[in-house]
Structure 1
Amino acid sequence: MEENIYELDIDVRILELLGPNLYTNIYYVLAELIANAYDADAHNVYIISDKDKIIVEDDGKGMSYSKGEVGKYLKVAAISRNNEEDSKTALNRLKMGRKGVGKLAALSVSEEVQVMTISDGEKSGFVLSRHPQSKNLQGIPYDKICFKKIESNGTAIVMLNPQYKLHKTQTAIKRNLLKIFPAISKDFKIHIIIGSKEDVIDSVDKEIGRELCACILLGNKSSNIKNTFHNEYSNVDLLVESQPKKFPLMLKDNQGAEKQYDLIVEGWIGAYKSTRGRKLESSDFPDNFISLYAHNKMGEFNILPVVGANRLNESYVVGQLFVDLFELSELPDMALSNRQGYKSDDPRYIKVIEYVKDELLPNIIAKRVAFAKAKKDQNEKEKINKQEEEERTFRFNVNEFRKSTSAQVAQAIINKGTGVSEEEVMFAVENAINANSNMLGLKPHIDQQKKKLFISHTRRDKSIGDIVYNMLVFNNVPPEDIIYTSCDDEVSRIPQGMNIYEYLRKFFVDSVSDKKMYVLFITSDNTKTAWGAMVEIGASWITRVDHKIFNINSFRPEHPLNDEAMWNTIRRDGDGRLTMTELNCDDFCSKIEQVCDVVGYPHKTRKDNKAQLSSLIIIE
């Protein structure tokens, strides 16, 4: 048999320059090789991890030496498509390859790569090297051209002594491949083989939809997300289904002619419920990303650093956007040479970045915030319901204890023949039990759940309320232990949907806990005309709660407040500017420290407190 000649149609020095630098991650290399298999109309791709080699084998059409297909393959950087006619495969797939350099991807992993192919039984094979001696490549003997999984058609790329290693588990390999190559289906499967174990990827990540708390769908390209997504809070719209986004753009084609094109963005963007447990290994791809794809091939893994503002909620964001106009053959190629990004000055890229930055990203972050708020409200509601149930149970148990104990003691005394009636004995015993029931020590859990501080104020006096709240938190009082209805932090506000007076009644009146809330009253001329503030004053007097007064201007607090005690005075002028004297500053800090002592939190030093207060109000 006449020996085949494999001549590389490129300056051999290019291989030495490009080989180790073209790709920086084994999964990008695999994505290129898988894309080549996709373009060859393969139905199966086998990624085989061996001790000293990584093999990517596919059952595509293969390449014939006699028909010139191998020679075409060896023309590196030859444009593979220029118009729509040659942009589809025989199976009507949109071709992923374009630049003709993806075939060199394997040289980023290995110094020597074996390329073996078979087309209708005709075998060919040669060795690509980073350091070829000439354009004539070393051929592989016919009897050495063999395959692991295919028979009559297909190609195998064998990376010898790879510098990069695959993950040790199929699960990790699968997880990373799905992030960068979403064109998986029953018609195009990826098989991962490690030793004797084989795992098949035949669908996109089904789990990700279950892990999202919010999602925006653009078109029906991501039905798997919709099918697995579950909205935990029906009163909040966390799944948005919309049509693909379309933008008209004036662009110049490869010949320089300008005309209008439709830039269409499809796909999805979502937010995780939690980021825990997804990135299992440090070498995994990040979990929060927004990837761009064209013709189902990833062009840029993560545009979040470009569109984001480094906000905390961005760490929950994930998305896959498909823009086929990026790969339209009649338009200039906008992909970078290593296929790991796009040219940032291309109008198509600029438009997508603007859309994601100005609309998609803010919208999904708003959905994530809505989810977090709904979850917090639900947790607060469940916490209150649990506390109410515990208090009901405790009250019932105490009543049963009183009745049972009174009856037993009364019967025991009567049995001794004292001549006292049972009713008299039970009355005396029950009174004694009632008087000493606090000594039973049965309420520590209920006491612990109670709010400890209440800032009573009118809405018009919020600026002073904010200062009091800030000083409490500064002195180690947890926000969740404070009720402050005008608070900017919702953890201290009345839970959404609850009546304010019903909520306060649970802490002022109905609780069986003997630990009463400490109330900080902010009083001013507004107090007498504010019904809510007057109700709070009355409730605190009825339940005999301890309190401190922070007074504004010359208003004089009256009974039932402790009007005999010295109160702190804050001055407020007609423009709303707040000031206080050095003496009142010291007194204000003293009151905050006393409150912390009462409710059991270690406060800061007087010096630190005065410094903090002076940053919140003018000290004259």
Structure 2
Amino acid sequence: MDNTNDKIFFNFSYFALKLLGKGLYSNPWTAIAELVANGLDAKATCVRIFIDMSDKKNSEIEIFDNGTGMTYSDLAEKYVLIGKNKREDLSLDEVSKNKVMGRKGIGKLAALYLSSKYYLISKSAGQESAWYFDMSNERESEIPSLNRVNLSQVEVLSAEYWDKLTSGTMIKLKNVDLTNIGIQSIEGLKARLSDYYVLDSISGKIELAVRYQKNTPIGFQEVAKNIAFRNFYALFDNSESNIKSRIAESVYFPSADDTVRRKPRHTVIIDESAYNTSGTRHFVKEDGSLSEKEIPYSLNGWIGIHASIKKDDAQVNDPLFLKNKAYKSTQLRLYVRKKLAVEDFMPYLKNTQAFSNYIEGEINFDVLDDNSLGDIATSNRQGFAEDDERVALLISLVKPIVSTLIVQRVKVGQEIREEEDKIKKEHEAALKAAEAARQELEIKNRVTEKKLEVASDNIQKYKAQSYTIFSAITEDQKTFSAKTHLVKTNALTIRNSVTTLARKIGIENYRELGAISVATDKILSSLKYSAIAKFNIEDASIKEDLFAFCREYLMNVLQQQYFNIHISVETSGQHIIKFQPQNISLVLDNFLSNSQKSHARNFNLSMEDISGKAYIELWDDGDGFGAVDLNEIFDFGFSNTGGTGIGLYNIKTVIKKMKGTICAENATPSGAKFIIEMP
């Protein structure tokens, strides 16, 4: 445009472009995202970003798409015109205008934030042209220009991909300083690029490739949103993407206590119908007047609150959780026309509640950039004027949702603290009880030690007394004791011989062996009884309480011999009769012997006098009789334990001699049981 006598046009200098380029963006990723948006606005289905970092100080970045491209006319009339509103382009229909992400016409300046020199290559209408912009060596007061260059002068690093396109635009940035950018930052770039657009809704895909060493192959990967949905504890969702289906049924929370940390807690879905998120109203236009018609507005998207924002704890629920110096996931991202307008809207809410930094979400509110209303974007194009009525409206819609999510997180946090306190108190109580038990045991040990000292003293006294008593025994008493031992030895020899003979010659033909066996057992029982009968081993009868004798003999004599069997005796009343102690000793001894052979651990005896008759039951918990005929077990020679079968025969012989009866049955749940009735 040429000046006339009546009109003088403004021009931008290199210095002005430099100021705009540096002032509009705060980091390289924001600038790259703006250049990607230009490709998407050009109806591209794929925008690729290639970053060559083999020389970090002089990195190269190529951003290219398969959109409509630009002709010479497009470059001269649209591209170089700073501030041209794309939505006023007469070549676009209304549907296309509404799909355009930007309207300010300044996105192209993002290239100047990254580098002072870049190439622009465009394919359109079957023609390809290359242009060069360089302000590094120009005077700042000069008018900037885009200069045509020969295609052969431009080295396209990603030519294998670019050459396949029939239309599109490439911005090739030279000498980009990425000195402080590492691999972790590149991962952050992928995440931030995915955040700059509502990828589920845009028409094209974005791909990224990074080269760290020269001449390595180029491999593009699609930029995808990797949001840790499974780490959300509570979620609000009124989007069309059904985000609520992506969260887990339950999550885990960090805790110093293992029990609390390993307890799954059910996630919460907030009822979106309980919140007002859409409507219509009059808004103030750019000239200060109200809009003639009510303009519709709608808040849609999703907002969640994380169970934890510490990386290690969060990744227990979802390994996708990412947090590093280049990327912060816990942000409430605000989109307008599918493009990121505010990286984190939470500061606008001025929410100081606990867990407000656990919020993450993606919300859309397109009325912030309505064509009929004024531009309310901040000077750096990365925010909005907080006092604008549309921003105030959005705040009023979002605040209740965020507050509800925080209340849910506070509630479960309180629940966790109560569980931790309870476990802590139980642990402290257990420690206290253990200490009390230790102290009690220590006291008991001291008492026991004292008793042991007394017992040791007594033992020494008893030894001295025993020696004195033994010295006082007459020679006749010593001779009697020796002879008693000799009798016991001979009786055992006779019994063993009877057993051997019974096995060798057949016990069914020599029942006389039974009489010998009974006599032998009586001798042995007499010797045992002699300990409590003061050496009275005569085969004579006494008239005493049968029940008392059985108890005394079992507990004082047999319990010492059969120490591995617990003997229990119960009596009801007395039964005074005339009996031979040796016979009763024989019966009880044989019962205990059989119980031991049957592997019994317990032997029980119950005695009761009913109307002058003795009813005696004996039972154990051994192997029992098994499937044998109980009518045959008292026969001479019958045995199911591998013995001679003489013991039970001897028992029945004695009981019958005392005019009594005996029968047997299997005990429940196991063992043998005998029932004796005696007059």
TM-score class, shorter:
0.5 to 0.7
Instruction: Quote how far apart the aligned CAs of 1:62 are.
Output: 4.2
8 Å Cα contact 2:46/2:204 also seen in 1: yes
Q: Could you say which residue in structure 1 is the equivalent of 2:109?
A: 104
Decide whether the 8 Å contact of 1:49 with 1:166 is kept in 2.
no
Distance 1:70 1:401 in 2: 99
Deviations 1:305-335 (A, max 9, x none): 2312434422222222111222333333332
* 3-state secondary structure, aligned to 2:86: coil
Determine the structure 1 residue equivalent to 2:169. Answer: 155
CA RMSD of aligned residues (A): 4.4
Check the 8 A contact 2:233/2:267 in 1, yes or no. Answer: no
- Structure 2 counterpart of 1:45: 48
Instruction: For structure 2, list consecutive stretches of 5 or more residues without a partner in the other structure.
Output: 1-8, 253-262, 312-320, 461-679
2:391 partner amino acid: Y
Query: Does the 8 Å CA contact 1:9/1:135 hold for their aligned counterparts?
Result: no
Given that 2:250 and 2:264 are in contact with CA atoms closer than 8 Å, whether structure 1 keeps it comes out as no
The whole-number CA distance in structure 2 between the counterparts of 1:175 and 1:398 is 61
Following the alignment from structure 1 to structure 2, what is the Cα–Cα distance between the partners of residues 269 and 178?
17
The Cα of 1:32 is off from its aligned counterpart by: 0.5
Give the deviation of 1:299 after TM superposition. 0.9
In the superposition, the TM-score normalised over structure 2's length comes to: 0.51
1:26 is aligned with what amino acid?
A: P
Aligned partner of 1:177 in structure 2 is: 193
* 1:306 partnered with 2:348: yes
Aligned counterpart, 1:321: 363
Match of 2:221 in 1: 200
Counterpart for residue 612 of structure 2: none
What count of residue pairs does the alignment treat as equivalent?
A: 408
Amino acid at match of 1:374: E
Tell me how far 1:394 sits from its aligned partner: 11
Q: 1:245 aligns with which of 263, 277, 280?
A: 277
For 1:404-435, what per-residue CA distance to the aligned partner results, in whole angstroms no more than 9, with x for missing partners?
A: xx99xx9xx99xx979xxxxxxxxxxxxxxxx
Q: Is the 8 A contact 1:37 1:45 kept in 2?
A: no
Residue in structure 2 matched with residue 369 of structure 1 by the alignment: 410
Distance 1:135 1:111, change over 3 A: closer
Question: Cα distance, 1:266 vs. partner?
Answer: 1.1
> Match for residue 617 of structure 1?
none
What do the CA deviations read for 1:264-322 (whole angstroms, capped 9, x no partner)? 1112222222222377543x244443221111111112232231243442222222211
* 1:11-68 Cα deviation digits (max 9, x unpaired): 2343133122221211210120121122222324224233223424233224242564
Partners of 1:253 and 1:271 lie apart in 2 by 36
With the length of structure 1 as denominator, give the TM-score of the two structures.
Answer: 0.55
Aligned counterpart in structure 2 of residue 263 of structure 1, from 278, 282, 297? 297
CA contact (8 A) 1:265 1:323 kept: yes
| Change in CA separation of 1:59 and 1:179 when aligned onto 2, cut-off 3 Å | closer
Is the Cα contact below 8 Å between 1:275 and 1:287 reproduced in 2? no
Q: Are the counterparts in 2 of residues 107 and 129 from structure 1 also a CA contact under 8 Å?
A: no
User: What residue is the counterpart of 2:208 in the other structure?
Assistant: 191
Please show how residues 398-409 of structure 1 align to structure 2 within 5 Å: none
Greater shift in the superposed pair: 372-381 or 313-322: 372-381
Q: Distance in 1 between matches of 2:342 and 2:233?
A: 25
Q: Deviations over 1:67-95 (max 9, x none)?
A: 64664222221110049974655xx9922
SS of structure 1 residue aligned to 2:283: strand
| Structure 2 counterpart SS, 1:340 | coil
Q: Tell me, yes or no, if the aligned pair for 2:303 and 2:332 is still in contact at 8 Å.
A: yes
- The AA in structure 2 aligned to 1:240 is I
The answer to whether the Cα contact below 8 Å between 1:218 and 1:241 also exists between their aligned partners in 2 is: no
CA contact (8 A) 1:88 1:95 kept: no
* Residues 324, 80 of structure 1: alpha-carbon distance in 2 compared, 3 angstrom cutoff: same
Partner of 1:268, secondary structure, is: strand
**Cα gap change, 1:28 to 1:64, in 2 (>3 Å):** closer
The one-letter code of the counterpart of 1:108 is: Y
**Partner Cα distance (1:166, 1:77) in 2:** 32
Partner-residue secondary structure (3-state), 2:194: helix
CA distance in 2, matches of 1:10, 1:224: 53
Distance (whole Å) between structure 1 residues aligned to residue 17 and residue 390 of structure 2: 31
The reply to whether residue 347 of structure 1 matches residue 367 of structure 2 is no
Q: Are the equivalent residues in 2 in contact too, given 1:274–1:316 (CA < 8 A)?
A: yes
Q: What is the percentage of aligned positions where both structures have the same residue?
A: 20
Q: Distance in 2 between matches of 1:105 and 1:306?
A: 26
1:72 to 67, 70, 78: 78
Which of 363-372 and 184-193 deviates more?
184-193
Structure 1 residue aligned with 2:334: 292
Q: Answer with 304-313 or 374-383: which moved more.
A: 374-383
Q: Structure 1 residue 218 and structure 2 residue 219: aligned?
A: no
Structure 2: how far apart are the matches of 1:326 and 1:338?
A: 16
2:531 matched to which residue of 1?
Answer: none
Counterpart residue number, 1:94: 99
Q: Structure 1 residue aligned with 2:152, among 133, 143, 164?
A: 143
